[in-house]
């Protein structure tokens, strides 16, 4: 089902016209379809039937409380990378024992908070972290359940900035050196080594890198067991890609089928950490055209959504489809344009060299596949308030994060005591 579609000439999110939301909330705003979120999670749940497996949603992709809760209601745990994300997961009702804590640089205070909250699993990425965690767990008088994340040195064939499983990436412990790390962990009294983790990259559009990595890790697990370690869990990570342009990412069902095949007989409980795949296509960014500026070589359509709202195009050369919210007439003439924001940087664009129907001031545009790594990577650059977030469910919608006022933004700051206060 298409959760964002034209109805009677106007783009809708499920049963709600985006222009209705724009009238009430203003622009720019993010809009998520609860139906699309549930459909993606439902496909995971169906595919995992009969497998000893579960999803820990990688909430870095979209950490809106309402989004996390939607998945938690369907049985998902959470994959977190900071104390802040842990607090969000707990606030959204994720049970602590369904939380997996990933990340290459966890601070002792964050590890302490995680152990105090009772998170289910900590994925350790270095020997130094093993030692810190052991000390923190000792202080609390507990045993921390850990996996060690290995770096299988497999090319995920994705953008360089989101490749994580190659030698030379900062993530995990090199699979050739990891045996030693397991030996160290096995001797630390406050750690309980329960398994192995991997995550090879994001926006993967083929299954072969997963297949190669799983095979490598499965061999490694056999070796660990022969060394006397009890390996019960295998965390396969996330990374499954979505459609931005014309990619043909594997279906969730096919992905799970391959994992099932490759882990047959391994006798491990599996964890999946999908982020983008659960939320990416379920969210859009809506902006309004401020003005149109014809140039010598091309036309600039200046909209009120900018790189601070969606940084992916300029940071990763990402292609996001952009369509007018009011449906163009069939066969309407198009013009070649760049869709850009008002920020004072040439890198401030949402799209370049697109052929779009003629737009004018006041028209709304929708940026597709913006549900993952959109709002969460937003900033207040140029003192632009963070774009609000809206969830649609059928014919209802709710603002799940309101737009901060500029007064709110200024009130968060302080002058140093030695400065004279500006006169009001």
Q: How far apart are CA 365 and CA 385, in angstroms?
A: 19
State yes or no: residue 239 binds ligand LLP (CB under 6 A). Answer: yes
For 263, half-sphere exposure in the C-beta direction (CA atoms, 13 angstrom radius) is: 25
Structure tokens at 69: 């809760």
State yes or no: residue 125 binds ligand LLP (CB under 6 A). Answer: no
Query: Contact at 8 Å (CB) between 299 and 340?
Result: no
**Closer CB to ligand LLP, 165 or 388, in the complex:** 165
| Contact pick of 120, 275, 378, 385 for ligand LLP (by CB under 6 A) | 275
Pairing mode, if any, of strands 299-303 and 283-294?
Answer: antiparallel
**Closer CB to ligand LLP, 239 or 341, in the complex:** 239
Instruction: Note if the bond before 28 is cis, omega within 30 degrees.
Output: yes
User: What x-and-dash track marks residues 92-111 binding ligand LLP by CB under 6 A?
Assistant: ----------x---------
For residue 58, the minimal CB distance to ligand LLP (Å) is 3
| Contact pick of 77, 152, 195, 238 for ligand LLP (by CB under 6 A) | 238
Q: Active-site residue 268, yes or no?
A: no
| Contact pick of 134, 151, 163, 202 for ligand LLP (by CB under 6 A) | 202
If one counts every other C-beta atom within 10 angstroms of the C-beta of residue 39, the result is 15
**Closer CB to ligand LLP, 237 or 385, in the complex:** 237
**Closer CB to ligand LLP, 277 or 354, in the complex:** 277
CA angle centred on 348, ends 346 and 351, rounded to 5°: 105
Q: Helices 108-117 and 127-140, interaxial angle, to 10°?
A: 50
CA angle centred on 199, ends 193 and 202, rounded to 5°: 160
Tell me which of 56, 268, 337, 344 is the catalytic residue: 344
| Contact pick of 196, 373, 386, 387 for ligand LLP (by CB under 6 A) | 373
Nearest C-alpha neighbor of 284 from the set 31, 21, 2: 31
| Contact pick of 38, 277, 320, 354 for ligand LLP (by CB under 6 A) | 277
Structure tokens at 313: 């195009």
Footprint of ligand LLP (CB under 6 A): 58, 60-61, 79, 102, 162, 199, 202-203, 237-240, 273-277, 312, 316, 372-373
Please give the positions annotated as active site: 344
């Amino acid at each position: 089902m298409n959760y964002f579609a034209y109805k009677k000439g106007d783009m809708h999110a499920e049963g709600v016209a985006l222009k209705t939301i724009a009238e009430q909330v203003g622009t720019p705003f993010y809009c998520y379809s609860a139906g699309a979120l549930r459909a993606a999670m439902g496909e995971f749940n169906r595919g995992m039937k009969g497998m000893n497996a579960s999803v820990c949603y990688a909430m870095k992709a979209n950490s809106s409380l309402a989004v996390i809760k939607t998945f938690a209601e369907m049985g998902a745990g959470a994959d977190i990378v900071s104390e802040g994300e842990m607090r969000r997961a707990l606030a959204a009702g994720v049970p602590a024992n369904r939380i997996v804590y990933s990340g290459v640089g966890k601070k002792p205070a964050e590890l302490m908070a995680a152990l105090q909250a009772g998170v289910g699993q900590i994925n350790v990425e270095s020997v130094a972290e093993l030692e810190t965690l052991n000390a923190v767990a000792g202080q609390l008088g507990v045993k921390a359940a850990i996996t060690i994340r290995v770096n299988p040195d497999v090319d995920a064939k994705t953008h360089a900035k989101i490749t994580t499983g190659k030698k030379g990436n900062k993530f995990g412990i090199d699979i050739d050196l990891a045996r030693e790390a397991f030996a160290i962990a096995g001797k630390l009294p406050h750690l309980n080594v329960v398994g192995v983790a991997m995550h090879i990259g994001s926006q993967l559009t083929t299954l072969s890198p997963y297949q190669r990595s799983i095979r490598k890790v499965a061999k490694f697990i056999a070796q660990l067991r022969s060394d006397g370690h009890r390996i019960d869990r295998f965390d396969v990570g996330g990374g499954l890609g979505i459609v931005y342009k014309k990619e043909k990412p594997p279906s969730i069902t096919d992905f799970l089928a391959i994992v099932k095949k490759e882990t047959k007989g391994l006798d491990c409980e599996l964890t999946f950490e999908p982020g983008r795949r659960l939320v990416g296509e379920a969210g859009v960014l809506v902006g309004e055209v401020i003005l149109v500026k014809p140039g010598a070589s091309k036309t600039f359509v200046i909209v009120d959504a900018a790189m601070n709202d969606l940084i992916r195009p300029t940071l990763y050369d990402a292609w996001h489809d952009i369509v007018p919210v009011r449906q163009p007439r069939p066969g309407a003439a198009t013009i070649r344009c760049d869709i850009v924001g008002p920020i004072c940087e040439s890198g401030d664009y949402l799209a370049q060299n697109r052929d779009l129907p003629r737009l004018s001031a006041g028209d709304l545009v929708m940026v597709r596949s913006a549900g993952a790594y959109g709002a969460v990577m937003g900033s207040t650059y140029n003192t632009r308030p963070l774009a609000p977030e809206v969830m649609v469910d059928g014919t209802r919608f709710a603002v799940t994060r309101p737009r901060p006022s500029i007064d709110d933004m200024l009130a968060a700051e302080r002058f140093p005591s030695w400065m004279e206060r500006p006169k009001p």
